[in-house]
Structure 1
C-alpha cells in the first residue's frame, strides 16, 4: 500500500468503519484544497476546513436573529458580521499558499470578529465564549510540530476573552438592545460553543482513527507481502533483527525443480496477458500443492518452479513430502490439460542433501538455496523426460521403502560425470 492510502478516507471507502459517520458533504468540505500534501498534513488541513465551515454556518442563525429582532436597529451589526459567512468559507483556498496559511487566516478572522462581537454586544452576550475552543483548535489546525504558533494563538485568544470580560462590559453606544436580547444571545452562544468543541474534537479523533486503520491495513498488507517473499520463520527473524545476516547451513533438505515442457513456442503464439494468465494459473495450483505438503516455495524462474523441503526449519520426512508433491504436480498438469484441451507437461527433477539457505539483497529481498543438491536437482530436471520425475541414487535409496521406481540408467551429468538415475513412478501398493 502506498502512502496515499493513509490520507482522508471517504465514508464509502473500503475497510472497517464505525456505525455513525459525519455527513458526506462535511467529508467533501474537509478535502477541499488538501490535494498534493502528505497524508499527515492533509488530516490537519481537513480539521481546519471543518472548523471554518462550522464558523461559517454558526454565523447564519445570529444574522437571522438580528434581522428578526430589529433589522434596522441592528443594521451595523448585520453589516459587520454577515461577511463572516464568506470569510470563513474561503479558508480552504488559502491552503495553496502553504500548509499553515489556511490556519493562520482562520485564526486571524476568528480573533478579529471575536473582538468585534465583544465590542458590539459586551460580555453579557456570551459571544466571548467562542474564544474558549482556541487552545484545542489551535493545536489541531497548526499541529504539534508548531507548538509555539498554536501557543501564541491560544495566548491571544485568552487576552481577547479577558478584554471582553473587563473592557467591553456593556454593548456599544451605537447599538441599542434590551436585556432580553442579550439573554437570548447568551442562550444561543453557549450550546453553539459546545457544538463547535464537540464536532471539532470528534472530527479530529475520527481522522486519527481513520489514519490508524489505514496504518493497520498497510501493516497487514506488508506482512502478507513479506511472508509471500520470504518464509514465515525468516520473515520473523528479519522483523526482530532487521540488520541480521540470514545464512543457515541445513544438514538435509530435498530440492525439486519443475519446468513446463514446450512453454517457449507456446508463449510465442500468445499475447503477454495470455502468457501471464497461463503461468499464474499453473503456479497458483503448484503453490496450493506446496502448502498442502508443508513445503517452501523458493522461487520461479520463467516457466521453472523451485520447491524445498526441510527448511528453513528442520522437519522429518521432507523427502517423502517432496516426492508426494512431485506426484501431485503430474496429476495437476493432467487435470489442466483436460481443462484447456491441450497437453501441459512438466519435467521434474529432485535431489536431497546438505544446502546453504539465506537472504540476499539489501533492497529486493530474495530467499535462496545453494548447494550440490540444488545443482543436481536442476540437472535432473533439465535432463529429464516430459511428465516424469527423475531422481539420483541417493534420493531413490531414501524413498524406495514407500515409493516405486523405474531405472532409467546412466546419463552424463555436467559437473558430475556418469550418474545412474531413476524415475519416481508412484507410491507402493
Structure 2
C-alpha cells in the first residue's frame, strides 16, 4: 500500500515557492514539444531572448517616429521588420534543436551591425553585442562550445568595429547629439535588462531541473526503503556489500493465509480482487509497522512477516505472537466493515534463518531456512481462525501467552510434531 501511495504522490510535479509570470512560461514553451527536457530548457531560453528583443524593438521604432519621422523614415522601414523576424524564432525549432538558435544569432548579428552603422557608437547600440555573447552559451549549450565561442567572437568583432569604424552616424541619417543621448540611455538599461532576464530565466530553468532531480532522488529513496528494510537499504546505498546475505541466529517467522479466498474470488472482477487484498494486507502492514516488524512479502493471498531481522531484537517471539493475535482481531473488524467473512490460518516458528536481497533489477528481500519452512507448514496444516505453533515456540512463550493443545500431527517434511494453538495473552 505504501508503494502505491508513493507512486500516486510521485505523479504530482514538485512546485517551487516562487514562479515567473505565466505568459513568460507560455512563450518559453512554444515549439519545444517533443524534445527531451535538457533540449527544451535550451530552446526555452532561446524563445525568451527572441521575444524580449522583439518587444524591445517597439520603443525604438516609436522613438524614431515621434522624434523625427521624416529624418528617420529609413530607420523605421529598415528596423521595423525585426519585430516579426525575432518573434518567429520558435517556428524554426520544428526543423531541429539548433536551427532556432542559429537563426536568432544571424538576425541578431545582422541587425546589430545595421544599428551601429546607422547611429554610430555614441548611441550605445553596440552594447547589445554583450548580452548576445553571454546568451550564446545558453542557447547552444555547453556541448557546442566551439559554436558558442565563434558567435562570441563575432560579437566581439561587431563591438570593436563599432568602436573603431562606426564612430559617427551614417551620412544619410540626420540626427543631433540629443537624439544620440536618448538612444544611449534607452539602450544601456535595455541591455542590462536583457542580460538579467536571460540569465535569471536560465538559472530558474536549471533550478527547476535540480528540484526535479532532487524529488526523483527522494522518491527513489522512499521507494527503496519501502521495498527493503531500512538497514538493508542503507547498506545497498552505501555500497558496503556486493551481495546482501546474512545469517540470523534467531528470528521469528509468521505466515498468514486467507482461507478459501481463491474459490470465493473466482467470480470477482480483477479490480475487486486487488482492492480487497490491498485493503486486508494494508491493515496487516500498519500493524507490522506499529509493532516494528518486517513485512517480507505477499504471495497471492498469503502474507509473510518476520521479527528479529535484519537487526536483532530480544523480544521478537513475543512481538510476532502479538501480531498474530492482532491479525485475528483485524480480520474480525474487516469482516464487520465489509460484510465479507475474512478468516486466516496463521503459522509461527522461531530459530535461525538466512536473509538477503535477491536480484539486481527488481530487488526482493527474502528469508530462507528450516525455520521458514516450518512456519509455512504450521500455516498450511493449520485451522482457519487459529494460530498454530510448534512445541518449542509454545515453551518459549507460555509464561506470556495461553495455548490450547492440538495434538500430535503428521507434518509434511517434518514427521510427527506436537502442535499448539496460540489463543491469547496471559492476564
Q: TM-score range by the shorter chain?
A: over 0.9
Partner of 2:50: 52
d(CA) in 2 for partners of 1:334 and 1:224? 32
Partners of 2:394 and 2:77 lie apart in 1 by 97
What CA deviation, in whole Å up to 9, does each residue of 1:340-372 have, x standing for no partner?
122111111111111110111111111100000
Query: Relative to structure 2, which stretch is displaced further, 145-154 or 323-332?
Result: 145-154
Partner of 2:407: 409
Unaligned runs of 5+ in 2: 4-11
Map 1:18-29; keep pairs closer than 5 Å.
18-19=17-18, 21-29=19-27
Alignment of 1:102-117 (within 5 A): 102-117=100-115
CA shift, 1:136, in A, is: 2.1
Mapped partners of 2:134, 2:271: distance in 1: 55
Structural RMSD (CA):
1.4
1:209 to 207, 210, 218: 207
Select which of 197, 204, 207 maps to 1:199.
Answer: 197
CA positional deviation for 1:16: 4.0
* Post-superposition offset of 1:72: 3.0
> Partner residue of 1:264?
262
What does the per-residue CA deviation read over 1:83-104, in whole Å, with 9 as the maximum and x for residues that have no partner? 1111111111222222222111
Report the counterpart of residue 152 of structure 1 in structure 2.
Answer: 150
Secondary structure at the residue paired with 2:385?
Answer: coil
What secondary structure, in the 3-state scheme, does the structure 2 residue paired with 1:132 have?
A: helix
Alignment of 1:42-81 (within 5 A): 42-81=40-79
| TM superposition shift of 1:179 | 1.4
**How far apart are residue 14 of structure 1 and its match?**
4.8
Distance in 1 separating the partners of 2:209 and 2:226: 25
Counterpart of 2:9?
none
Tell me the residue number matched to 1:305.
303
2:97 is the alignment partner of 1:99? yes
Could you say which residue in structure 1 is the equivalent of 2:377? Answer: 379
Match for residue 398 of structure 2 among 385, 397, 400 = 400
Give me the whole-angstrom Cα distance separating, in 1, the residues matched to 2:76 and 2:384: 90
* Residue pair 2:296, 2:365 contacting (<8 A) in 1 also: yes
CA distance in 1, matches of 2:237, 2:36: 26
Asked if the contact 2:235–2:241 (Cα under 8 Å) also holds between the matched residues in 1, the reply is: no
Deviation string for 1:66-114 (max 9, x for gaps)? 1111223212111211111111111112222222221111111111110
Deviations 1:156-204 (A, max 9, x none): 1011001111111111111111211111111110111111011111111
TM-score by length of 1: 0.95
The secondary structure found in structure 1 opposite 2:188 is helix
Name the structure 2 match of 1:134.
132
The residue that corresponds to 1:5 in the other structure is: none
**TM-aligned CA deviation for residue 133 of structure 1:** 1.3
Structure 1, unmatched stretches of 5+, are 2-12
Q: Distance in 1 between the 2:263 and 2:240 partners?
A: 43
The structure 2 residue matched to 1:290, chosen from 269, 277, 288, is: 288
Cα distance in 2 between the residues matched to 1:243 and 1:252 = 22
SS of equivalent residue, structure 1 residue 343: coil
Aligned residues: 417
Tell me which residue corresponds to 1:17: 16
Alpha-carbon distance in structure 2 between the residues aligned to 1:317 and 1:156: 76
1:181 aligns with 2:183: no
Please point out which of 108, 117, 120 is paired with 1:119: 117
Taking structure 2 as the reference length, the TM-score comes to 0.95
Bigger mean CA offset, 29-38 vs 380-389: 29-38
CA distance in 1: counterparts of 2:263 and 2:313, whole angstroms = 40
- Counterpart for residue 10 of structure 1: none
SS in 2 for 1:331: helix
